[in-house]
Chain A
Amino acid sequence: MNQGGLLWANARVCVSFFDDTRLITHFGESIGHCKNVGISGDTVLAMSPDAPSAPADPAQPHTPVSTNTPQSHTAETHGDEDDPFVSISGWGRTAPTTARVLRPRTAAEAAAVVQGWGARGGIARGLGRAYGDAAQNAGGCVLDMTGLARIHTIDGQAGTVVCDAGVSLHRLMEVLLPLGWFVPVSPGTRQVTVGGALGADIHGKNHHASGSFSRHVESLELLTANGEVQTLRPGSDLFDATTGGMGLTGVILSATVRLHRVETSLMSVDTERAADLDELLARLTTDDHRYRYSVAWIDLLARGKALGRSVLTRGEHAPLTALPSRARHQPLDFRPGRLPAPPAQLPRGLLNRTTVGLFNEFWYRRAPRSRTTELQPLTRFFHPLDAVPHWNRIYGGDGFVQYQFVVGHGQEEALRSIIQRIARRGCPSFLAVLKRFGTSDPGWLSFPMPGWTLALDIPAGLAGLGSFLDELDEEVATAGGRIYLAKDSRLRPELLDVMYPRLPDFRALRAHLDPQGVFTSDLSRRLAL
């Protein structure tokens, strides 16, 4: 335990010491014995507002691309310099595999790399926030896109930004909020790249009002298997295959994104409790349209009469007039705080039915029965988990699985039945999230469909979890629903065709565009995408 305490203290020192450095990798520096941890979505961006795009590595003047640069991966590599294979996993830290990590700094470097990356192909990777194996490629190459991180132009009139795919949403917020603009769609973490946001065609709390990320993109540049760069616009097949296409159509180099106008960096939030699932669904159905953002934290350990009890938080960007006068002279302040990261190695089973049950009880009771127009910092409303770097470590060495599915309107009984099964089973998942989706998005493999989506984290070490989730999959598929590829790490491949009707088109397009399978990932191998 002593040792754990020491690591914790070290981690704290690191955070404050590196407070305004550009790119910190938290494992490795202070944790000497922690070998071969590899990359597990663990690089944390903490850019200062004036951070220029990273300069070329002076140590390697002749190599066009720096392989496995120290700032991006302090993780242990095996072999020597010319064998920079690194162990990589997703945010859930399950199923690590090794690949050569290349980090281009320009579009031309990226194109050169793609041409020469060999038989096992490669895949783009952003900040590794996909939970499963989407951004890893065993034995092949992984293109770390965070080196392509320039914001090219911001049109303050039209409200658009042109930026590289490796720019994080965190960075965009830092730059854009002071100008009175916000990203059109924000997931539950700011630590995702624009490329990752498009690759998974992410949704936010505003899906019912604004749709997925790709709906706010005017154009994107795609590097395809033959080395060409194409400019794609919404409505074309390749655009629709790329958004949600999990990096398998090519490398997104840059995008033009439409922004949302805001007057302040605060949110005006209404919080209410719903005592059970019926009440929750009723509220979401009757007045979701009044809010731009809406989500419910649901207690999946609650059973019986309390099944589905939840805390709804819904809100809107606060107008300037809503701020107290002393806050009005700096209404667009954006200063997210950070807590120390948990130690790198934690025992299994920290999260169990008892600890999570207590937490959920506390969370539910803590919430007010009903409170309106509370002002909250934007980060607390959108990204509460970002305050704790590496929170994924609390699941210990086995890692964890995020299960996210959607079923359509009219399938409320399927939703109830699944929630009942999860509750009965006592899955220790805290802070599961339920949301009502708006209309489907055009991406062929985009996840959302009008209906209900539920996302929950479960420790991967839970006995029998594999078969249990297989059973839930069947229910989801029977109800005409689907699971989210950006979260998946275990779906039975046969079900994918049922869940994504446009999969044949996607496969045909890839066969045509990339007959050699230049773009390949562990996900695409596992699911035969």
Chain B
Amino acid sequence: MKDAFGTPQSLLILGGTSEIGLAIARRMIARRARTVWLAGRPSPELEHAADSLRTLGADVRTVPFDALDPAPHAEVLGKVFTEGDIDMVLLAFGVLGDQANDEGDPPAAVRVAQTNYTGAVSAGLICAAALQNQGHGSLVVLSSVAGERARRTNFIYGSSKAGLDAFAQGLGDALYGTGVHVMVVRPGFVRTRMTSGMPDAPLATTPEAVATAVELGLRRRSETVWVPGALRVVMTALRHTPRSLFRRLPL
């Protein structure tokens, strides 16, 4: 159960090797979390991630999960919930893709969309139903500022995050009053392997900062969290910038 500050005791992280996801897990373990499920594509990295959390004192288990293969989602994720309540589900999987290449490689672009959007629709609906059965819990969705307004330079990724973001908002409204809380997290540029090799964007931040923002959001039962918080204002301005100007901005 979550405590008075919204701190969970049990976590399910989809995208079990995600650097942001693991930073959040470490933070929650430092607070109250004792049970952690890491769902992801089986790999030595996934097992290594599990070991790293075990050394912090958590009871960690891994389950196979591939966003691109939704057929087994219900069974695999369902099993996790039969083992005990999950206080917080984190959707942390996602791929950035390679816009320059993917514009000329439609199947690759579709994989980005399917991972980030349809994969999340499948996993999100399944986890939401399970949380609703428990009568409590938070579904935390890692969206992105990139979904707020699609940019010339990464609109494939951006549009998949826009879809995810809209889906999560709608799901949150559908679950309002059921005891289940859906929180959309919109980080800006976070320094992880996803962005490695790329120059820092303005307001670049760290996985730990995302974890801090998630912790605060859980306590306040926020519906939307921007990381860093200043992005809320920046994105409001960008959202209202005329197209003719927006497409020429160096973003």
A binds B: yes
Q: Is the CB of B4 within 8 A of A92?
A: yes
* Interface 9-mer from B176-184, B192-200, B226-234, B238-246: B176-184
Q: Is the CB of A95 within 8 A of B135?
A: no
Q: Is the CB of A95 within 8 A of B176?
A: no
29 A/B residue pairs, CB under 8 Å, sorted by A: A36-B176, A76-B177, A77-B177, A78-B177, A78-B178, A85-B178, A85-B179, A87-B177, A94-B4, A95-B6, A96-B179, A97-B136, A97-B179, A98-B177, A98-B179, A120-B134, A132-B4, A133-B1, A138-B1, A138-B179, A139-B179, A397-B220, A399-B4, A460-B219, A461-B219, A465-B5, A466-B5, A489-B3, A525-B1
Q: Does B26 contact A (CB under 8 A)?
A: no
- 1/0 per residue, CB under 8 A from A, across B204-227: the answer is 000000000000000110000000
Q: Does B133 contact A (CB under 8 A)?
A: yes
Q: Is the CB of A139 within 8 A of B136?
A: yes
Q: Which A residues are in CB contact (< 8 Å) with B31?
A: 466-467
Q: Is the CB of B136 within 8 A of A460?
A: no
- 1/0 per residue, CB under 8 A from B, across A74-113: the answer is 0011100000010100001011111100000000000000
Q: Is the CB of A95 within 8 A of B177?
A: no
Q: Which B residues are in CB contact (< 8 Å) with A35?
A: 177
- 1/0 per residue, CB under 8 A from A, across B157-196: the answer is 0000000000000000000111100000000000000000
Residues of A within 8 A of B (CB): 35-36, 38, 76-78, 85, 87, 92, 94-99, 120, 132-133, 137-140, 397-399, 401, 460-461, 465-467, 489-490, 492-493, 522, 525-526
> Main SS of the interface on chain B?
loop
Q: Which A residues are in CB contact (< 8 Å) with B5?
A: 94, 460, 465-466, 490
Q: How far, in angstroms, from A489 to B2 measured CA to CA in the complex?
A: 9
Contact residue among B32, B135, B176 (Cβ-Cβ distance under 8 Å from A120): B135
> Main SS of the interface on chain A?
loop
Q: Does B116 contact A (CB under 8 A)?
A: no
Q: Is the CB of A522 within 8 A of B176?
A: no
Q: Is the CB of A97 within 8 A of B135?
A: yes
Q: Which A residues are in CB contact (< 8 Å) with B2?
A: 95
Q: Which A residues are in CB contact (< 8 Å) with B179?
A: 85, 87, 96-98, 138-139
A98 with B135, Cβ < 8 A, contacts A78-B178, A85-B179 known: yes
Min CB–CB distance B220 → chain A (angstroms): 6
Q: Which residue in chain A gives the minimum CB-CB distance to B1?
A: A526
Q: How far, in angstroms, from A398 to B216 measured CA to CA in the complex?
A: 11
Q: How far, in angstroms, from A94 to B15 measured CA to CA in the complex?
A: 30
Q: Is the CB of B177 within 8 A of A466?
A: no
Q: Which B residues are in CB contact (< 8 Å) with A140?
A: 135
Q: Is the CB of A138 within 8 A of B134?
A: yes
Specify which of B5, B7, B31, B219 lies most central, judged by the most chain A CB atoms within 10 Å of its CB. B5
Q: Which residue in chain A gives the minimum CB-CB distance to B180?
A: A98
Q: Which A residues are in CB contact (< 8 Å) with B7?
A: 466, 490
Q: Does B85 contact A (CB under 8 A)?
A: yes
Min CB–CB distance A3 → chain B (angstroms): 21
Q: Is the CB of A466 within 8 A of B3?
A: yes
Min CB–CB distance A123 → chain B (angstroms): 12
Q: Does B114 contact A (CB under 8 A)?
A: no
Min CB–CB distance A484 → chain B (angstroms): 14
Q: Does B9 contact A (CB under 8 A)?
A: yes
Q: Which A residues are in CB contact (< 8 Å) with B133?
A: 139
Min CB–CB distance B236 → chain A (angstroms): 22
Q: How far, in angstroms, from A95 to B179 measured CA to CA in the complex?
A: 9
Q: Which residue in chain B gives the minimum CB-CB distance to A83?
A: B178
Q: Is the CB of A138 within 8 A of B32?
A: no
Q: How far, in angstroms, from A465 to B3 measured CA to CA in the complex?
A: 12
Q: Is the CB of B32 within 8 A of A139?
A: no
Q: Which B residues are in CB contact (< 8 Å) with A490?
A: 3-5, 7
Q: Which A residues are in CB contact (< 8 Å) with B177?
A: 35-36, 38, 76-78, 87, 98
Q: Which B residues are in CB contact (< 8 Å) with A137?
A: 135
Q: How far, in angstroms, from A95 to B6 measured CA to CA in the complex?
A: 7
Q: Which B residues are in CB contact (< 8 Å) with A493?
A: 9
Q: Which residue in chain A gives the minimum CB-CB distance to B30?
A: A467
Contact residue among B6, B32, B85 (Cβ-Cβ distance under 8 Å from A525): B85
Q: How far, in angstroms, from A96 to B134 measured CA to CA in the complex?
A: 13
Q: Is the CB of B220 within 8 A of A398?
A: yes
Q: Which A residues are in CB contact (< 8 Å) with B3?
A: 94-95, 466, 489-490, 526
Q: Is the CB of B176 within 8 A of A85?
A: no
Q: Which A residues are in CB contact (< 8 Å) with B134?
A: 120, 138-139
Q: How far, in angstroms, from A38 to B179 measured CA to CA in the complex?
A: 10
Min CB–CB distance B130 → chain A (angstroms): 10
Q: Which A residues are in CB contact (< 8 Å) with B6?
A: 95
Q: How far, in angstroms, from A465 to B134 measured CA to CA in the complex?
A: 27
Q: Is the CB of B220 within 8 A of A461?
A: yes
Q: Which B residues are in CB contact (< 8 Å) with A36?
A: 176-177
Min CB–CB distance A121 → chain B (angstroms): 12
Q: Which residue in chain A gives the minimum CB-CB distance to B176?
A: A36
